[in-house]
Structure 1
Amino acid sequence: MLQDLIEAGFGNKEDLNCAEKILYGANEAYHLGLSPEALKLSAGFGGGMAIGSVCGALTASIMVLSHLFVKNNAHASPVIKDLSQELFTAYEQEMGDIHCTPLKDKHRTPELKCQKVIAKAAEILDTIVRREREKGTLQ
């Protein structure tokens, strides 16, 4: 699914940032049907919102979860808060942090850039989406 796309270099040719790779890739992998204008909303989240804060791959993953599991708004969704927390907790356990700067320091390489960081977010997102689809909780 999404992890396979990311590991195959999805978005490299287009020079997408971490958040864009997740949202654009999820649009393809999960058949979200997002418009080009909606996809552009992820642009400013790359590089931890350009200040090294929460990794853009994670913030875009929350965008994907919101699209899939929120019908009207967050307060009306019985699962978005729990799924978001699950994503962040699992990611931090696997990667040691959720913030861009320490993740880059630990995992970024000149050759692959942040591919490992993005692929891990995609892997966890795939796991959540697959499980919730099987349970029938998608909106």
Structure 2
Amino acid sequence: MRILLCTTGFDNSITHGGARCKALPEGRKVVYWKKYSAMEEKRMIRDFVETYYLEGDYNCAETLLLAANDAYALGLPEGAHRLVSAFGAGMGCERACGAVCGALAALGCLRANGRAHATEGFKELSAGFVNKVEAECGSIECSALMERYRKEDTRCLDTVLRIADALDAYLRETE
């Protein structure tokens, strides 16, 4: 069962999975619910990370994509997180950080116009995000980030939150 993060907007609409609806889909479990004012309507990716990563047991890449979907209303279909599942734990071999890969997938959803090659400056935009993460975290390699930030009880939560914050900031910087 997929976890749903639900909010009631200032207009009393229900939002879940980044999409507005009149009612929750049948058989869905609500694990987070809060009423937001108009000023709070804009959410940050970090607001959704703990629920997906710790409570939902999604990996780092899946968490970033799902949290970005909720924060930025990407409208991804059910199961879209599976597209980045193999990127968790640095592609399973502690190489490129899965959270960075999930964030890049979200960046593509938000900023690529159809195809990356057809989007002027998209390569540079992606590289800019990777460079930002590397500057802020010291690396984009899973093994180095795990050595620096991993904790036994929360796994890579600190890293995933750092990447979520970096993506939010980068999206604001590059608007």
TM-score range, shorter chain: 0.7 to 0.9
Kindly state the Cα deviation for residue 61 of structure 1 after the two structures are TM-superposed: 0.9
SS in 1 for 2:55: coil
Whether contact under 8 Å (1:22, 1:118) holds in the other structure is yes
Matched residues, number: 131
Moved over 6 A (4+): none
Unaligned runs of 5+ in 1: none
User: Please, which of 88, 106, 112 is the counterpart of residue 154 of structure 2?
Assistant: 112
Query: TM-score, normalized by length of structure 1?
Result: 0.88
Deviations 1:49-95 (A, max 9, x none): 10111000001111011111112211111132122111111111111
Rounded to whole Å, the distance in 2 between the matches of 1:62 and 1:116 is 18
User: Please, which of 40, 48, 54 is the counterpart of residue 5 of structure 1?
Assistant: 48
User: Please, which of 66, 69, 77 is the counterpart of residue 35 of structure 1?
Assistant: 77
Aligned 1:40-119 pairs, distance under 5 A:
40-119=82-161
Kindly state the Cα deviation for residue 124 of structure 1 after the two structures are TM-superposed: 1.1
CA root-mean-square deviation = 1.3
Kindly state the Cα deviation for residue 115 of structure 1 after the two structures are TM-superposed: 1.1
Whether contact under 8 Å (1:65, 1:80) holds in the other structure is no
User: Relative to total residues, which structure has the larger strand share, 1 or 2?
Assistant: 2
Unaligned runs of 5+ in 2: 1-43
SS in 1 for 2:103: helix
Kindly state the Cα deviation for residue 129 of structure 1 after the two structures are TM-superposed: 2.1
Rounded to whole Å, the distance in 1 between the matches of 2:111 and 2:136 is 24
Question: Percentage identity across aligned positions?
Answer: 34
Rounded to whole Å, the distance in 1 between the matches of 2:57 and 2:79 is 17
Rounded to whole Å, the distance in 2 between the matches of 1:93 and 1:112 is 24
Quick check: 1:130 aligned with 2:130?
A: no
User: Please, which of 49, 58, 64 is the counterpart of residue 22 of structure 1?
Assistant: 64
Whether contact under 8 Å (1:54, 1:100) holds in the other structure is yes
Rounded to whole Å, the distance in 2 between the matches of 1:60 and 1:122 is 10
User: Relative to total residues, which structure has the larger helix share, 1 or 2?
Assistant: 1
Whether contact under 8 Å (2:48, 2:70) holds in the other structure is no
Query: TM-score, normalized by length of structure 2?
Result: 0.71
